[in-house]
Amino acid sequence: MSSITTQLWKLVFLVGFFCASAVHAQTPSAVITGSSDKPQEGFTPGWGFGTKFEGSTSGDGTVTDLATGVGYNFTRHFGVDLGVPYYFIGTPSSIKKKNPGAVSGDGIGNVGMDLKWNYPNQILNYAPTVHFGVPTGDEKKGLSVGRATWNIVNHVDHTFGDLSPFVNAGVGNSVLDTRFFQRPFMTFGYNFQSEAGVEYDPGNFSFTASAYDVAPLGESGCD
């Protein structure tokens, strides 16, 4: 996000198959996946470990990452995850046009920790998450803004057979990536993020469509 004088709104229609949570620039916990992966009765208490490789591409560049995480669920409703990614970032097309030989740096991103809750209910499932990022990534490579980041995200959904309409809303001092889009850069500045959509999951595959929006808060601006 660059300097914003009044208001910047971005609305993106996103459709994806076989997608897990996007993780670039926010340092994920690899054991955390989408809300639909959480059992209806809540978390399974105990330790968990996971590794995942994912990415996305756009005019801003290609981003892939290998994330490794470990977590512990204290109860069916509360758990903690800790993770660190290694990023592989391609050069944006706008830079390649000016400098065909330019390359973007790879490296370890910010170590991240998630405090997660899960409250299944017959009427509405509620799953809030608090994310903290430690600036361990290389700031010169764009893998960190050199400051600690935080985000609070609230997820609400309800299942009608194979369909699960959902709403995500949160605030933070960095922009969390969506499940389908990863940014090849870090951002810093207070903002409000929202997403609404529906997931179709018959069991062997999943299909999700959603609208995503980011709005700045105050005059903090972003790096």
- Record the pTM: 0.72
pLDDT in tens, 164-191: 999 999 999 988 766 656 665 667 889 9
**According to the 3-state scheme, what is the secondary structure of 57-123?**
EECCEEEEEEEEEEEEECCCCEEEEEEEEEEEECCCHHHHHHCCCCCCCCEECCEEEEEEECECCCC
Token pair for residue 58?
């756009």
Backbone angles phi, psi at 97, to 5 degrees: -65, -35
Q: What is residue 3's predicted lDDT score, i.e. its pLDDT?
A: 36
**Please, are residues 175 and 193 in contact by the beta-carbon 8 Å criterion?**
yes
**Please, are residues 89 and 25 in contact by the beta-carbon 8 Å criterion?**
no
pLDDT in tens, 189-221: 899 999 999 999 988 888 989 898 889 987 654
pLDDT in tens, 84-98: 988 887 766 666 666
